[in-house]
Amino acid sequence: MCGIVGYVGSDKSVEVLLSGLRRLEYRGYDSAGIAVIDPHGELHTRKRAGKLQTLIDDLDGLALANGATGIGHTRWATHGGPNDQNAHPHLGDDGKLALIHNGIIENFAELKRELLENNPDIVFASETDSEVAALLVGIEYRATKNLAEALRRTVARLHGAFTLLVLHKDEPGVVVGARRNSPLVIGLGDGENFLGSDVAAFVEHTRRAVEIGQDQIVTIRPDSVTITDFDGAPVASREFEIAWDASASEKGGWSSFMAKEISEEPEAIAKTLLGRIVDGEVRLHELDALGDALNDIDRVVILGCGTAAYSGMLAKYAIEKWARIPVDVELSHEFRYRDPIVNSRTLVVSVSQSGETMDTLMAVKYAVQAGARTLAICNTQGATIPRESDAVIYTHAGPEVAVASTKAFVAQVAAFYLLGLHLADVRGALSKAEISGLLEELQALPDQLSTVLEQHEAIKQLAGWMTDTRAVLFLGRHAGYPVALEGALKLKELAYIHAEGFAAGELKHGPIALIEAGQPVFVVVPSPRAQDSLHPKVISNIQEIRARGARILAIAEQGDAAVLPYADVVIPIPLASTLFEPLLAVAPLQIFAMELAAAKGLDVDQPRNLAKSVTVE
C-alpha cells in the first residue's frame, strides 16, 4: 500500500524524497506528494494525481526550495478517489504542518464530525481519513508546541492501522513518525536520518537500519533518533544491517523490473539455499528460536495470500510427504474469522514477500493469541510479520519491485522445502540418505531453471500471437495445480485477461463446459519418469479437452513423447521429480503473462488497481 519516506539532514531533501519514492512506488501509484521545509523555514508541499513522474514533471521550482527536512508519499487510494486533493501530504495548523499516512483510520468519520462540531470554521480539503489526523495533530501542536507530543496525543484517539509521518515549520530538522500495524523503519546516516515504509526507501544512502515496534513513536533529527511507546516511555530498539544493496532495486537495462526479477530466479533459489545445506543436511539455525517445539507439533497451518499462498500449497504436498505431518493451507483473510482450531501443538507458518500483508499479519496475531508457535517465511528485513513471530526464515530473493511476485515465489518454495526436509529429519520420517538425495535435487534447480529461462524469446513470440485472446485456462494435477493457479493469477493481474486455474481432474466435474473450439489451455504435465501415476492421468485430461477443440499449450519434460501428438505448443523443461517440477514450470507462465501484457502495451510493473504490499484488510 502507500509508500512513505521521511528525511532530516542536509539541504537535499527533495532529491532524497524523490529517489526514495521511486523505490517505493510499487506500494501504490495513484498519486504522489512531498512536503519540505526550506532553508528559510518555509513549508512547501506539492502533490499530484497519477504516477510519481507526474509529480516530478510538475515540481516547478520546488527543487530550489530544497531544505533539510521533508516527507514524501506515494498513494494507493482507500478513502477518496485518486485526485490531487486526496493526495498526501495533508495540512494542519493553518498550513504550518504536513502529514502523510499509510493505513486506514477506522474512526475517522466520528473524529471528523467532532472536529466540525468543535471548530465550525474548519475546512476539509480532501475526502481522506488522513486529513483528520493532520488537523488533529495541528490542534494538539497548538496546545503543546511539541510535535512528538502532539502526535502522541493524536494516535491515542485513532483506531485502525496507520503509519503517520509529520513535520511542522516551527520545528525544522525534525520528522516524527508513529506506527500501529503498518510498516515503518529507520535508516541511520551520518548527520542525516531517514524513515521509510521499508528499507528500499533509503538503502542507497545507508545500510544501517533500526526496527520500530508496534505502537511506537519515533523522532528523527540529523544527529539523533528517539523512540518511545505511545505513552511516551523510551523503548529499546534493534539495529540491523540491510542485506540488499541499492543496485539490486535498479532496472539495470531490463525492459521492466518484472523481466529482471524473473531472470534472477535461479539466483533467488541459490541464495535462499546458501549456507543452509551442509554435508547433506539442512541447517536452519533460525529455528533454534522455536526451542523443542518442532518435536511436539502435531499439525502445521500455512497462512498466506495470492502467490504466497500458492507457495504454501506446494509446501503442503512436500511437508506431508516428507515429514508426515498434517498440513493445512489457508488464505490469511479467511483464517481468523472462522474460529480455527489452533493450539500450542500447532506450528503456524506465515509466508509473505513483503512481511507486511495486513491479512497475514492479523492471522499471525490471532495464532499467537491462540497459543500456536509461529514461524515466518519472509523476504523483507525489518518487516512486521517476522517481528510478531517466534522465528523467521528469510528468503534471499533480494528486493522485488515489480508488483507481481515472481522470484519471491520460487524462493518461498525453496525455503519451505528446506523446512519440510528439516521436519522430516527431526521426526525421523526420512532417512539421512533420502534427505541428502532430495537436497541434491533442490540444489540442482538453479542451473535447471537457467535453461528454462533461455526460452524467453520463444514464449514472447507465443504471447505476441495471443493478444486478442479473451480467456485462457490452466490445468495441473498435484504439484502442477498450484502452478496452474499461479499461471492464471499472473495472466489476470498483468494482461487483464480472464484466466482460471483448475486441478486437471476437476475439469470433468463442470469446467469442461468452458471448452470450445480454439480455447487455449496451458497444461502443466508431470514427468513421465516420476514414480507415480500422474503423467498418464494428465495425458488423458489433455485428450479429453483436445477432443472438444481446445488448443493445448503444454509445459512438459524435454522429450516427453506422449504429449507431442496432442499439444499445439510444447514448452520443454528439464527432468525433475514431481515436487521440484513446479520450480521449473512456473517461469514460462510468468514470462507468458508478462510478454502478453507488454504486447498489449500495458505496464507490467505496475498493473492497474494493484499495489505490492497490501497493508489494509
Provide the minimum distance between the beta carbon of 216 and ligand F6R in the complex, in angstroms, as a whole number. 22
Q: Binding to ligand F6R by residue 28, rule CB under 6 A?
A: no
Secondary structure class of 561 (helix, strand, coil):
coil
User: Which lies closer to ligand F6R via its Cβ, residue 71 or residue 269?
Assistant: 269
Cell numbers found for residue 459: 514464449
User: Which lies closer to ligand F6R via its Cβ, residue 354 or residue 381?
Assistant: 354
Separation CA 583–CA 314 (nearest Å): 10
Provide the minimum distance between the beta carbon of 532 and ligand F6R in the complex, in angstroms, as a whole number. 29
343-367 core/surface letters (b: 16 or more CB in 10 A; e: else)? eeebbbbbbbbbbbbbbbbbbbbbb
Encoded one letter per residue, x for contact with ligand F6R by CB under 6 A and - for no contact, window 236-265 reads: ------------------------------
Provide the minimum distance between the beta carbon of 568 and ligand F6R in the complex, in angstroms, as a whole number. 27
DSSP alpha helices (H): ranges in 124-179? 130-144, 147-155
User: How many C-beta atoms lie closer than 10 Å to residue 379's C-beta?
Assistant: 27
User: How many C-beta atoms lie closer than 10 Å to residue 500's C-beta?
Assistant: 17
Give the CA diameter of the chain. Answer: 80
Provide the minimum distance between the beta carbon of 396 and ligand F6R in the complex, in angstroms, as a whole number. 15
Provide the minimum distance between the beta carbon of 3 and ligand F6R in the complex, in angstroms, as a whole number. 14
Interface region with ligand F6R, contact rule CB under 6 A, candidates 166-174, 260-268, 350-358, 519-527: 350-358
User: Which lies closer to ligand F6R via its Cβ, residue 305 or residue 579?
Assistant: 305
Cell numbers 480472464 label which residue?
498
Residue from 242, 397, 614, 616 binding ligand F6R (CB under 6 A): 614
Interface region with ligand F6R, contact rule CB under 6 A, candidates 306-314, 426-434, 515-523, 592-600: 306-314
Q: Binding to ligand F6R by residue 306, rule CB under 6 A?
A: yes
User: Which lies closer to ligand F6R via its Cβ, residue 491 or residue 552?
Assistant: 491
Encoded one letter per residue, x for contact with ligand F6R by CB under 6 A and - for no contact, window 399-418 reads: -----xx-------------
Omega within 30 of 0 (cis) for the link into 89: yes
Residue nearest to ligand F6R (CB): 306
Secondary structure class of 564 (helix, strand, coil):
coil
Residues whose CB falls within 8 Å of the CB of residue 77, separated by 6 or more in sequence, listed in order:
28, 30, 31, 86
Q: Which of these, 157, 156, 175, 173, lies nearest to 165 by C-alpha position?
A: 175
User: Which lies closer to ligand F6R via its Cβ, residue 105 or residue 377?
Assistant: 377
Encoded one letter per residue, x for contact with ligand F6R by CB under 6 A and - for no contact, window 46-85 reads: ----------------------------------------
User: Which lies closer to ligand F6R via its Cβ, residue 204 or residue 359?
Assistant: 359
Residue from 45, 74, 357, 469 binding ligand F6R (CB under 6 A): 357
Active site members: 2, 612
User: Which lies closer to ligand F6R via its Cβ, residue 493 or residue 560?
Assistant: 493
DSSP alpha helices (H): ranges in 346-455? 358-369, 384-388, 407-426, 432-453
Interface region with ligand F6R, contact rule CB under 6 A, candidates 300-308, 442-450, 512-520, 546-554: 300-308
Q: Binding to ligand F6R by residue 183, rule CB under 6 A?
A: no
Interface region with ligand F6R, contact rule CB under 6 A, candidates 247-255, 347-355, 508-516, 574-582: 347-355
Interface region with ligand F6R, contact rule CB under 6 A, candidates 266-274, 353-361, 416-424, 524-532: 353-361
Q: Which of these, 232, 246, 146, 160, lies nearest to 196 by C-alpha position?
A: 246
Q: Binding to ligand F6R by residue 305, rule CB under 6 A?
A: yes
- Amino acid of residue 376: A
Interface region with ligand F6R, contact rule CB under 6 A, candidates 2-10, 16-24, 84-92, 304-312: 304-312
Chain positions 443 to 502 lying near ligand F6R, rule: CB under 6 A, are 489, 493
Provide the minimum distance between the beta carbon of 560 and ligand F6R in the complex, in angstroms, as a whole number. 28
Encoded one letter per residue, x for contact with ligand F6R by CB under 6 A and - for no contact, window 491-510 reads: --x-----------------
Q: Which of these, 29, 73, 47, 83, lies nearest to 403 by C-alpha position?
A: 29
Cell numbers found for residue 606: 505496475
- What torsion do the CA atoms of 604, 610, 614, 617 make, to the nearest 10 degrees? -160
Separation CA 485–CA 502 (nearest Å): 7
Interface region with ligand F6R, contact rule CB under 6 A, candidates 354-362, 366-374, 510-518, 571-579: 354-362
Residue from 102, 130, 307, 389 binding ligand F6R (CB under 6 A): 307
DSSP alpha helices (H): ranges in 25-146? 52-57, 62-65, 108-118, 130-144
Residue from 360, 374, 389, 448 binding ligand F6R (CB under 6 A): 360
Q: Binding to ligand F6R by residue 352, rule CB under 6 A?
A: yes
Provide the minimum distance between the beta carbon of 605 and ligand F6R in the complex, in angstroms, as a whole number. 12
Provide the minimum distance between the beta carbon of 561 and ligand F6R in the complex, in angstroms, as a whole number. 34
Separation CA 276–CA 283 (nearest Å): 5
Distances (CA, A) of 120 to 124, 138, 600: 11, 16, 51
* SS3 sequence of 165-230: EEEECCCCCCEEEEEECCCCEEEECCCCEEEECCHHHCCCCCCEEEECCCCEEEEEECCEEEEEEC
Cell numbers 507490467 label which residue?
604
Using CB under 6 A as the criterion, which residues of the chain lie in contact with ligand F6R when the complex forms?
A: 305-308, 352-354, 357, 360, 404-405, 489, 493, 613-614
